[in-house]
Amino acid sequence: MNPETILCIDNLTKSMDDGQDAPFQLYQQVNLTMTTGQSIALVGPSGCGKSTLLSIIAGLEPFSQGEVWLFGQALSQLHDEQLCRLRSQYLGFVFQSFMLIPGFSAAENLQMARFIQGQPLSFASAQAVLDQVGLADKANRDVAHLSGGEQQRVALARAIVSKPKLLLADEPTGNLDPATGERISDLMFELNERHQIALILATHDSQLAARCERCYTIRQGSLYAND
């Protein structure tokens, strides 16, 4: 494997149950490779499996056949504790619904994330990360009192607080107005380019997808490269 390769999906197949005891193939022999600092967009209609593929890459969702290699480690060979360690060391997540803890300040949301990972974070360090997304002055503000765009920027700061090598973003601009969504997009691509953080986006936004180096459409269980 190329030492610059951080992700390799090899003949991935995933079977699921439709809830009526009728299994179906969500993915069929999906293959994908990614190197340091690249950006990839996953597009396709709702229900095609974009979010599920992100979860598989993160080791949060099992698969039926094939293998996923993440930073040189075969996910099928790792137990839960090893997967947690891999995620905390290499991955950052940005969710459409923000997933912040109301009643906690912006800084405390970052501190809590690091506490869960067993890595205490000082207020000053949390504020420094918030400064990267333009929210140093909101470090003490309860996230419930922030605007949607500000909450998403806190979520982005939380995703990068551990200095990940791969950022996974699931519809990161889906709940935002166009202007705010563009600002969040700019921040993600700035992190991608300046710090060489690899980026995988699942999105319905064709303009956002077009900013990535590579774009793939998920259709009928397969991954198709967009030329």
- Residue 97's pLDDT is 82
Tokens of 35: 């190197």
Range name among 73-82, 91-100, 137-146 with the lowest pLDDT average: 91-100
Which range has the top average pLDDT, 12-16, 121-125, 158-162? 121-125
Between CA 41 and CA 50, with CA 209 as vertex, the angle to 5 degrees is 40
- Residue 96's pLDDT is 79
Tell me what the mean pLDDT of segment 110-134 comes to.
92
Above 60 in pLDDT, residue 161?
yes
- Residue 116's pLDDT is 85
Above 60 in pLDDT, residue 1?
no
- Residue 111's pLDDT is 96
Proportion of the chain above pLDDT 90, given as a percent: 68
- Residue 180's pLDDT is 83
- Residue 53's pLDDT is 95
Proportion of the chain above pLDDT 70, given as a percent: 96
Tell me what the mean pLDDT of segment 130-145 comes to.
94
Please state the separation of Cα 201 from the chain's center in Å: 7
Tokens of 181: 């969504």
Packed helices 148-160 and 106-116: angle between N→C axes, nearest 10 degrees: 30
The pLDDT-based confidence of 25 (bands split at 50, 70, 90) is confident
Range name among 23-27, 49-53, 61-65, 81-85 with the lowest pLDDT average: 23-27
- Residue 33's pLDDT is 96
Tokens of 157: 């700061």
Q: What is the mean pLDDT of the chain?
A: 91
Comparing CA positions, the residue from 164, 185, 189 lying closest to residue 176 is 185
- Residue 19's pLDDT is 66
The pTM for the full model equals 0.89
Domains of the chain (ranges, CATH numbers): 5-225 (3.40.50.300)
